[in-house]
Structure 1
Amino acid sequence: MKQHRSVAIDGPSGAGKSTLAKRLAEALGYLYVDTGAIYRTVGLQAFRTGADPSDPAAVIPLLQDIQIRLAYGEDGLQHMYLNGEDVTAEIRRHEISAYASGVSAIPEVRAFLLEQQRGLAEEHDVVMDGRDIGTVVLPDADVKIFLTAAPEARARRRWLELKERGQETAFETVLHDVLERDERDTSRAAAPLRQAEDAVLADTTEKDLEQSLELLMHIVKEHLQA
């Protein structure tokens, strides 16, 4: 049976994981899996039901009636479905970020989604990005990359992304949210954000998109050929 290859990309909010991982997957001919979108979908359900995303007692019961599905359209994009509804655009709303971060800190939520993520890697060659891919989800990934950048650089990228979507938000607000999420993600008890011991650090603070992609391609090719 064919052994599928996997590339795990972890890093903090706004590091460009989704954009770069998708481009990398296209270049390699692998399936791209955005795990952050999966958690955002659970966060959206908490938002819609008025549940406190940091309260396990409020969030865990939601898992009984939630159906999450990933599908890939003709455009090659990963679409997220919540109980049959395409919520791909809605989960990217700025306010959903805090809900995604809250629910992702709950062990039961992570356990609920873990096998779904691993199953994709068992069936396909994947580039999977998130915050605990190399440490928890795919600890035996062929290549592990920890993608990061200075908080100010990450906040600016996120701010510009929101502006392009027509969501006007002050840069200071976005920077505050980035720093706050860094604190939540690195200090949570369940699968905290950290660089795997065998992950390659990729800092893109001073790099544009193409330079960053070139760096990741170099890392992947070097490790897959080793």
Structure 2
Amino acid sequence: MSRWLVNQGLQIAIDGPSGSGKGTIAALIGEELALPVLDTGLLYRYVGWRAEEESVSLDDENAVLSMLDAAITSMVWKAEGIFLKEADAEKDCTSRLRDENAGARASKVAAMPQVRTALLDVQRDIAKLGCVMDGRDIGTVVLPDAQAKFYLTASQRERARRRWSQLKAKGEDADLERIAAELRARDERDTDRDCAPLEKAMDAIHIDSTTMAMDDVVDRILNVLERRKLINKK
């Protein structure tokens, strides 16, 4: 049970580059405040995955748009992840969306202006009742009126090390230099794209987590929310 009273409809936006820890922080904040956590990156990964499953080229935005309605209709987005409707059941496909290939596909999907526009309503509808939402353009585009915005960063080397550590913990082969190169390439794509590039919202609080423990980042965010009277101790 949460030890906090949370303002009704509280929306917390956490943005940042890949590997900055925003997903982990969002999950911890959501657990503390008993708010659903919505990973928008997972939505783009899902679209990219469905495109691959249906042999739709990610170099053809119109082709992706043509499959989008069916992909969204068959999707159930929950705090736990994304599920696919199959007959009378829901199949958890989240694990398929977490690998490096899915991340690369998501980056291509996220660069498609019309696709991004179509997915905005999906994200905003789910966020109306209150949530913690993390991504790359939450505070600037998806939830520009969010009551609290944070921009989480870490050095590129530290972000690569974290990803390397995650993969090693799963028993997967991982090369630190290759991961660092992939992060650099993804940072460039996310920052330089014309549509909703990765950037800090003007009213977002910047937190550099390079030398911080995750618990310390969570404490700082909770302190900000409490000072603003967005949450109160029970």
- Same fold (TM > 0.5): yes
More moved, 30-39 vs 209-218: 209-218
Please give the TM-score of this superposition, normalised by the length of structure 1: 0.90
Describe the SS at the equivalent of 1:129. Answer: strand
Number of the residue aligned with 1:222: 227
Structure 1 vs Structure 2 CA RMSD: 1.9
Please say if residues 10 and 147 of structure 2, whose CA atoms lie closer than 8 Å, have aligned partners that are also in contact.
Answer: yes
Sequence identity percentage: 40
Report the residue type matching 2:46 in the other structure: T
2:189 pairs with one of 184, 195, 198: 184
Please say if residues 44 and 106 of structure 2, whose CA atoms lie closer than 8 Å, have aligned partners that are also in contact.
Answer: yes
**CA offset digits 1:89-143 (Å, max 9, x no partner):** 1101121110011101111221222111111221x22111111110111101000
Number of the residue aligned with 2:52: 47
Number of the residue aligned with 1:171: 176
Number of the residue aligned with 2:204: 199
Number of the residue aligned with 1:114: 120
- In structure 2, list runs of 5 or more residues that go unmatched: 1-6
Alpha-carbon distance between aligned partners in 2 of 1:219 and 1:12, rounded to the nearest angstrom? 22
Describe the SS at the equivalent of 1:69. Answer: strand
**CA offset digits 1:141-168 (Å, max 9, x no partner):** 0000001111111111111112222331
**CA offset digits 1:75-94 (Å, max 9, x no partner):** xxx12123543211110112
Number of the residue aligned with 2:165: 160
After TM superposition, list the pairs within 5 Å mapping 1:1-226 onto structure 2.
3-66=8-71, 67-72=74-79, 78-84=80-86, 85-122=91-128, 124-224=129-229
Q: Report the alpha carbon displacement of residue 65 of structure 1 after superposing the two structures with TM.
A: 2.6
Report the residue type matching 1:82 in the other structure: L
Please say if residues 57 and 64 of structure 2, whose CA atoms lie closer than 8 Å, have aligned partners that are also in contact.
Answer: yes
Number of aligned positions between the proteins: 219
Number of the residue aligned with 2:3: none
Q: Report the alpha carbon displacement of residue 225 of structure 1 after superposing the two structures with TM.
A: 5.1
Alpha-carbon distance between aligned partners in 2 of 1:96 and 1:113, rounded to the nearest angstrom? 17
Describe the SS at the equivalent of 2:183. Answer: helix
Q: Report the alpha carbon displacement of residue 172 of structure 1 after superposing the two structures with TM.
A: 1.0
Alpha-carbon distance between aligned partners in 2 of 1:43 and 1:169, rounded to the nearest angstrom? 23
Number of the residue aligned with 1:75: none
Report the residue type matching 2:127 in the other structure: A
Please say if residues 134 and 199 of structure 1, whose CA atoms lie closer than 8 Å, have aligned partners that are also in contact.
Answer: yes
**CA offset digits 1:161-210 (Å, max 9, x no partner):** 12222331211111111111111111111111100000000110011222
